[in-house]
Amino acid sequence: MSSSPDVARMKRELARLVAIDTQNPPGHEAPAAQYLRELLATEGFEVSFQEYKPGRINVVARLDSGAGPVFAFNTHMDVVPVGDGWSSDPFALTERDGRLYGRGACDCKGPLAAMLEAMRMLAADRAAWSGTLLGVFVADEEIASEGAKFYAAGRPKIDAAVVGEPTSNAIFSAHKGSLRPVVRVHGVSAHSGTPHLGENAIYRAGELLGLVAEHHDKVVRHHSHPLVGAASLTVTRINGGHADNVLPGACDLLLDRRMVPGEDEEAVKREIDQLLVVARERFGLRAEIVDYKATTGGATETAADRPIVQASLAASRAHGVTKPGPFGFQGACDLVHFSSVGAQGTVIGPGDLAVAHKPDEFVPVDEFITASLIYRDVAKAMLRN
């Protein structure tokens, strides 16, 4: 078998993956998982499913080649909703001007197809490496990373991992995390014709909005990291009132707190609790956290001197990436969940995050092919005899 990528096969498999509708919600990754099992079992991988909810499935492929470390490729099967504004069918991979268009082409079915090709090349050249090669392809990264969280909860042994996300094949070794508390501001309901008999929760929420903005400006944004930049606190949703003629007795705010590597989630929760204490002391405002919305997870970083970072940078440079990094994601991804089980890891993939989640999402053909070679070479470096 060849140790070079089969470009035609890569395009065929990406086309098939794009054609499988895994829009999240609802996800329903089962047909994609079945397709991956068929492909990987043919190459000699032992393939298992983790179905953590009906139709929500992780694929775990394993290939042992003697004693040695455990290395994992990881990315996700779900995609964001298609939306409007496409110039071609989002479920039919379309090639034009050196680009492959389709929902998920870069986030993240392009990286997934490139990882499949890398796994084939590695399976064909087992004499060049020793250890265990894993492919961990998960459900639900786009909403709450339920798939990766479920996988990590089993405490798998993984020494190093590459997470596939669109990075233009540069190396990202850190990412932000997120925390989303729902804060309920209380008022007193009354007839809207006699507002003096009540307390308008929306007005009271306005006082908290100002305090949130002040706290971001004076405190949160000063928590900074050299790769991912500043932490942040903002409000992304507001909901109050239940009738047109009733003074609202409650108003809910959804806060979005972006954390940087080094920040502790429990400490951030206490910080927000204290902010509500300040609101009570300053304004007499009654507010409480009533829920935390599920998010992808916390922040993480792999130190620049770790072997996975150095191997990733070397492979990226060797395959023509002029500015390989390392860099940091402003958003979040599943690397944090592999870090939680002790794996050192990086994020690498073809495509540009700037076109992900948009109409006419695409992956450049050259980056797509090159990614398979970078993935192969990083795995070899981490699985040396």
Is residue 25 reached through a cis peptide bond, with omega within 30 degrees of 0 on the bond before it? yes
pTM: 0.94
Task: Give every residue of the chain whose pLDDT is below 50, as ranges.
Answer: 1
Q: What is the pLDDT of residue 1?
A: 43
**For residue 358, what are the contacts with CB-CB under 8 A and spacing of at least 6?**
none
**For residue 171, what are the contacts with CB-CB under 8 A and spacing of at least 6?**
309, 312, 313, 316, 324, 325, 326, 327, 346, 347, 348
How many whole angstroms separate alpha carbon 72 and alpha carbon 95? 30
Tell me phi and psi for residue 48, to 5 degrees.
-130, 160
Q: What is the pLDDT of residue 3?
A: 77
Q: Tokens representing 285?
A: 């405002």
Q: What is the dihedral of CA 74, 80, 95, 19, to 10 degrees?
A: 80
Q: What is the pLDDT of residue 384?
A: 85
Sign of torsion over alpha carbons 47, 48, 52, 54: positive
Q: Would you mind telling me the total number of residues written for the chain in this entry?
A: 385
Q: Tokens representing 300?
A: 């993480």
How many whole angstroms separate alpha carbon 298 and alpha carbon 59? 23
